[in-house]
């Protein structure tokens, strides 16, 4: 009996130990905001009421020289991969260039492998084809803000927003988007309080168009601020209230001592917002016109005096504050060392006691835990980033204009920078500047003429890092969209993901255009099996007598589009298994002037 008893005892102790170890794994909540500036906090703007954000920032470990990218999708890609976004396949916001390469090992996947239950509620912004959705990229429970008809839209509908749920359209949810996202986050916390969880909440606030409840707007108007700036300040307060609800939920479930909250904004602020008008049905509609903050308002919002705004290569585009909050684990402190958005990935993994393990990729970030612990051996960092914009086309000898090549980012037409230690060299629209941001935070004193040797070495570093990025196999890789995923009845293909054009075409962040008869666009797809599909094209603004041809798989057809209609049935197409292309060409139209306004959005492929 003794051997059996000892075997039973050993098994029981092992099970108890496993349970204890699982309990010791901290819950991790990663909160990201959209277009929140370096100073958009109550502890920086006295009139702004954000007690919960202030608590996270002042009672946590705060990194005050934390660099993101200068726009939303690039930052999110760097966050989710731990790599410079330009290496991942993400090269811009929209234009079919948002999604990290499907071979990238995203943070959600790593946390699943670490034994965590994972969730995302909010703005995804990393690709919208079926295989790019968060439910396919490491998250068990997902509620991304995405519209059904045009998936690129919806993320900034701050009232009655549309949602997908675990890869399928769920419909619109009544009320304030920020509150709905928070409700879903709290429900996830309640349902997973007995398991280690990783909860990613990328709020779409305070991205324009600015919108908040009227009582909050009135509160700031009573302090003498303009209606538009009051709307922004009210939006920040509403966001703070919801983050407070998340913290209260953690407290209510007795999880505070073992829950680590990470918080930061995705890029710098913008001074401009579009106008909204409330409709009779309660929805808000965009109306013509923009509001740009006055110099006085901008100065009030930017007391640190950072130069410029989001989507540039200047300090105010990508300098942020990262806060890591868990009073039972970390004492409050402010760290001024240069840190990067790519550092969040390995930091989260170390908190989860899990090692990064990928056969081909190497992280660009490094864990911040040693820095938090007082390790002063923090090597000087360097970082290439900036505004990447619309991928530029490059004409090849074969007659095609390719969209994703090393020429896609013409440096002399963009605003980029290279940061090394306290120094930064900015290449803004063909003009260079050298700055010491430790002594000159506002980048007012260009030192390139006073320090020619330093300027030359920083320029060399700029081009060396750019060349190093281009060596990565995923840098400016062509988007590949997968169809026929298991469990997916109707596949969705974004036409703005076209990788090459012939003739005169154009693309915007959400669609493409034919500019002449004979113009052709090609997309790369991967079919999971040999299958037949019924294809429907979403195209808006179709002129009379417009005919296109579509080649897909083993089938080519000529189709007359329906004038004035938004959806056009194209027929049945047979696809082989594996990689192939979809080709769209304009054959004829009666109105060449109007054709330039015809918007091509997406293809829906219903498996037969």
SS3 of 427, please? strand
Domains along the chain? 25-379 (3.40.720.10), 383-470 (3.30.1120.10), 480-607 (2.60.120.260)
Question: 560 forms bridges with which residues in the sheet?
Answer: 547
Residues 6 or more apart in contact with residue 112 via CB below 8 angstroms: 118, 138, 140
Q: How many CB atoms lie within 10 A of CB 106?
A: 23
Cis peptide bond N-terminal to 25, omega within 30: no
pLDDT at 78: 98
pLDDT at 1: 46
DSSP at 172: E
Q: Which residues in the chain show pLDDT less than 50? A: 1-22
pLDDT at 379: 84
pLDDT at 380: 87
Task: Tell whether the torsion through CA atoms of 563, 597, 552 and 150 is positive or negative.
Answer: negative
Residue at token pair 């081009």:
463
Per-residue pLDDT tens for 510-565? Answer: 999 999 999 999 999 999 999 999 999 999 999 999 999 999 877 899 999 999 89
Do 395 and 401 touch, CB atoms closer than 8 A? yes
pLDDT at 336: 95
pTM of the model: 0.94
For 122, list phi and psi in degrees, rounded to 5: 135, -145
Question: Residue 416 and residue 389: Cα distance in Å, rounded?
Answer: 11
pLDDT at 430: 96
CA 90 to chain centre: 10
Q: Is residue 287 classed exposed, middle or buried when 0-12, 13-18 and 19+ CB atoms within 10 A define those classes?
A: exposed
pLDDT at 15: 46
Per-residue pLDDT tens for 336-389? Answer: 999 999 999 999 999 999 998 887 789 999 999 999 998 878 888 999 999 999
For 512, list phi and psi in degrees, rounded to 5: -125, 165
DSSP at 491: E
pLDDT at 22: 44
Residue length of the chain = 608
Q: How many CB atoms lie within 10 A of CB 159?
A: 20
Task: Tell whether the torsion through CA atoms of 457, 460, 462 and 468 is positive or negative.
Answer: negative
Question: Residue 166 and residue 191: Cα distance in Å, rounded?
Answer: 16
């Amino acid at each position: 009996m003794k051997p059996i008893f000892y075997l039973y005892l050993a098994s029981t102790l092992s099970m108890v130990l496993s349970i204890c170890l699982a309990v010791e794994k901290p819950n991790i909540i990663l909160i990201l905001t959209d277009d929140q500036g370096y100073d958009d906090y109550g502890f920086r703007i006295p009139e702004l009421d954000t007690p919960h954000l202030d608590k996270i920032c002042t009672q946590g470990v705060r990194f005050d020289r934390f660099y993101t990218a200068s726009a939303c999708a690039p930052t999110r890609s760097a966050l989710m991969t731990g790599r410079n976004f330009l290496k991942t396949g993400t090269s811009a916001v929209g234009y079919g260039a948002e999604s990290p390469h499907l071979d990238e090992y995203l943070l959600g996947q790593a946390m699943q492998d670490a034994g965590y239950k994972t969730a995302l509620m909010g703005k995804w912004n990393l690709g919208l084809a079926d295989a790019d959705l968060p439910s396919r990229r490491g998250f068990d429970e997902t509620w991304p803000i995405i519209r059904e008809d045009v998936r690129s839209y919806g993320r900034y509908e701050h009232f009655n927003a549309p949602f997908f749920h675990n890869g399928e359209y769920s419909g619109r949810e009544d009320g304030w988007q920020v509150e709905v996202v928070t409700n879903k986050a709290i429900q996830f916390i309640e349902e997973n309080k007995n398991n280690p969880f990783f909860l990613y909440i990328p709020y779409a606030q305070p991205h324009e168009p600015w919108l908040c409840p009227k009582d909050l707007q009135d509160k700031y108007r009573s302090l003498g601020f303009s209606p538009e700036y009051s709307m922004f300040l009210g939006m920040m307060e509403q966001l703070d209230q919801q983050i407070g609800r998340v913290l209260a939920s953690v407290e209510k479930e007795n999880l505070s001592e073992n829950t680590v909250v990470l918080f930061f904004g995705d890029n710098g602020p913008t001074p401009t917002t579009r106008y909204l008008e409330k409709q009779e049905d309660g929805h808000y509609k965009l109306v013509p016109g923009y509001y740009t903050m006055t110099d006085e308002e901008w100065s009030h919002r930017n007391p640190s005096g950072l130069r410029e705004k989001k989507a540039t290569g200047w300090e105010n585009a990508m300098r942020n504050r990262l806060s890591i909050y868990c009073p039972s684990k970390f004492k409050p402190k402010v760290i001024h060392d240069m840190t990067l958005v790519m550092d969040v990935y390995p930091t989260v993994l170390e908190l989860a006691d899990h090692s990064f393990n990928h056969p081909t990729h190497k992280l660009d970030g490094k864990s911040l835990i040693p820095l938090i612990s007082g390790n002063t051996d923090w090597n000087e960092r360097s970082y290439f980033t900036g505004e990447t914009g619309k991928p530029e086309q490059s004409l090849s000898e074969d007659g095609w204009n390719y969209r994703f090549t090393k020429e896609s980012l013409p440096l002399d037409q963009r605003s980029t920078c290279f940061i090394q230690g306290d120094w930064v060299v900015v290449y803004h629209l063909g003009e260079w500047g050298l700055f010491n941001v430790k002594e000159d935070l506002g980048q007012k004193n260009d030192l390139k003429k006073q320090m020619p040797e330093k300027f030359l070495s920083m320029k060399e570093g700029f081009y060396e890092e750019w060349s190093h990025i281009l060596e990565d196999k995923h840098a400016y890789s062509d988007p590949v969209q997968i169809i026929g995923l298991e469990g997916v009845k109707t596949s969705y293909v974004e036409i703005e993901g076209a990788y090459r054009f012939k003739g005169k075409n154009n693309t915007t962040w959400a669609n493409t255009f034919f500019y002449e008869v004979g113009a052709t666009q090609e997309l790369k797809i991967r079919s999971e099996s040999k299958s037949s599909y019924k294809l429907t094209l979403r195209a808006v603004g179709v002129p009379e007598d417009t005919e296109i041809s579509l080649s897909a798989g083993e089938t080519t057809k000529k189709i007359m589009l329906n004038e004035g209609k938004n959806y056009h049935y194209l027929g049945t197409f047979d696809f082989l298994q594996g990689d192939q292309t979809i080709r769209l060409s304009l054959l004829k139209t009666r109105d060449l002037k109007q054709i330039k306004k015809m918007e091509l959005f997406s293809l829906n492929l219903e498996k037969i």
